[in-house]
Each structure stands twice: as C-alpha cells, then as structure tokens.
Amino acid sequence: MPEHQLNPNKWIDLYSDYLFNYTITRVNDRDIAQDLVQDTFLAGLKSMKNFKGEASERTWLISILKRKIIDHYRKINSNKGKAEVRITYSDDESEGDWLEERVADPFDKTAEDLMQNSELGDAIFECLSKLPEKQAQVFRMKTIEGYETEDICKELNINASNLWVIIHRARTAMASCLEENWF
Amino acid sequence: MVPCDEAHHVCDKTQYKESSFWEKLKLHFHLMYCKACRKYTRNNKKLSSTIHKAKVECLDKKCKEAMKQEFEKALKDQLK
C-alpha cells in the first residue's frame, strides 16, 4: 500500500535548498548546480506516474538528482578523456622514482574535510526538513541566509517576538535532531 | 532573578549577536546557578558553530522565483 503522495506544487519551497546544497558540494559551480536542481524537478514532473509511494518524496527526488549529477560527471569526463595523458616518470631533481610518490595523496586533509562538510550539510538540511514549514523557513532565513530580524518580519508578516519564539523552537528541534543524527 | 525562558531568549539572541551587554550579563549570572540553562547554552552554541562550519548553501529568493515560474509552466503543459 503506497504510503507517500507526490505534491509538486510544494517541491520548490520544500526541497530546492536541500537539493541545491546537496549538489553544490559535489559540483562546485552555482549555475550548474541550479540547472541540475531545476532539471531534477522537471524530470520528477515527467515521471510522476512512476512513483510507487514506497520512498518519501524527498528521497525520490534525491535519487533523480543523483542520476543527474552522475550524468553531468560523465559528460565532463568524456570531454577530458580524449586528451592524451603524459606522465614523465623520471625527473632529475627529485629523489624518488616510484610512481606512488608522484600520485597525490587521496586522503589529504582538505579532501576529507570537504567530504565531511558536504555530509554535514546534508544532515543539517535533513533535520531542517523535519521542522514545520514556518519554523524551517524562519530558521533558514535567519541562520543560513543571514537576513535581519526586521526583514524577516516584514517578509513573513510576523512580529519580532513571534520570530524569536519560532527561532527558539526551531533551534531546540535542530539541536536535538543533530544530536541524534550527527554528533 | 531571570527566569529560564528569558535566559533562553537572550541565549538565542546572542547566537545572532543581537543581545545587549546587560542582557548577556544577566544571562551569565543565571547560568551560574542554573544547570539546565547551561546545557541549553552549550547545545545552542554547538548548533551555531556546526552550521557555520558546514557553510551550507541556499538558493536566493530571485532564483527560487525563477525556478517556480519555469516549473509552473511545465506543470501547466503537463496537465494539458
């Protein structure tokens, strides 16, 4: 019995940041990331009838996005792969002749950091998606996008004390969610 | 004496650098005797630093609006 329904009208509001953050940490180009996210939504629209309702809407959209990202990598790699790669094995100045010394360390600190940060970003957005829409929106605008209190109040038509109550609830929920899933 | 929910409020504002010197002072004294709020403050700071470390990215409003317009068009075409 399918549990989940699709609701495309809310996709961009609910998932665009999550999908974008997922993509940008793996693709490193804002414009390409935006395009991939939009392509994912459009592809999701086209294959709505294939949705079986077993996975959640977000999991389903992420799986479409992952395939789009893989296709993107295939495209850019096929352009590179045609060029000839020449490696000079001996270099008079350096001591070691072994190839191992010349290959970049795949586990250097920056690569590891990047990977962990992208997973952390995913965890943050996962927790954010568990919040009620209003809380998620206010928390995102204030904490991630860095809007001023006044601007958020104007935009969402709430007053400052509403905002702080919402922020308080959102932060409490986010902190406990991250405690469970990350720390 | 500052009640706990006021302490939470100042703690939240402090995360966004929006609390005043006096508010922070009052919070500081409250934390000296309130273990629960010390825990709240600790978790709150951890949340802030985690988000800062993650450098999460969002789409700006204009971009989302543009995406929505394109998407709505596709949605309409689909229903035809």
Q: How many domains does chain B have?
A: 1
Q: Which stretches within A81-159 are classed as H helix? A: 99-102, 109-130, 133-139, 149-156
**A106 CA: distance to closest CA in chain B (Å):** 21
For residue A165 the two structure tokens come to 């109550």
A114 touches B: beta carbon within 8 Å: no
pLDDT at A2: 59
Structural domain of residue B17, as residue ranges? 4-79
- Confidence check: pLDDT of B3 > 90: yes
pLDDT at B2: 87
| Stated pTM of the model | 0.76
Q: Looking at chain B, which residue has its C-alpha nearest residue A147?
A: B16
**A117 CA: distance to closest CA in chain B (Å):** 5
Between chain A and chain B, the number of residue pairs with CB atoms below 8 A apart is: 90
pLDDT in tens, B15-61: 999 999 999 999 999 999 999 999 999 999 999 999 998 888 888 88
Per residue of chain A (183 residues), give pLDDT as tens: 557 888 888 889 889 999 999 998 888 889 999 999 999 999 999 898 888 888 888 889 999 999 999 999 888 887 765 554 445 554 455 554 455 444 444 444 466 666 677 788 889 998 998 899 899 999 999 999 999 999 999 999 999 999 999 999 999 999 999 988 887
**B46 CA: distance to closest CA in chain A (Å):** 8
Residue A21 to residue A12: CA distance in whole angstroms: 13
Residue A51 to residue A2: CA distance in whole angstroms: 9
Contact residues, B window 20-79, toward A, CB-based 8 Å cutoff: 43-44, 46-48, 50-51, 53-60, 63-64, 67-68, 70-71, 74-75, 78
For residue A162 the two structure tokens come to 């509403």
ipTM for the predicted complex comes to: 0.88
Domains of chain A and CATH, by start:
1-82 (1.10.1740), 128-183 (1.10.10.10)
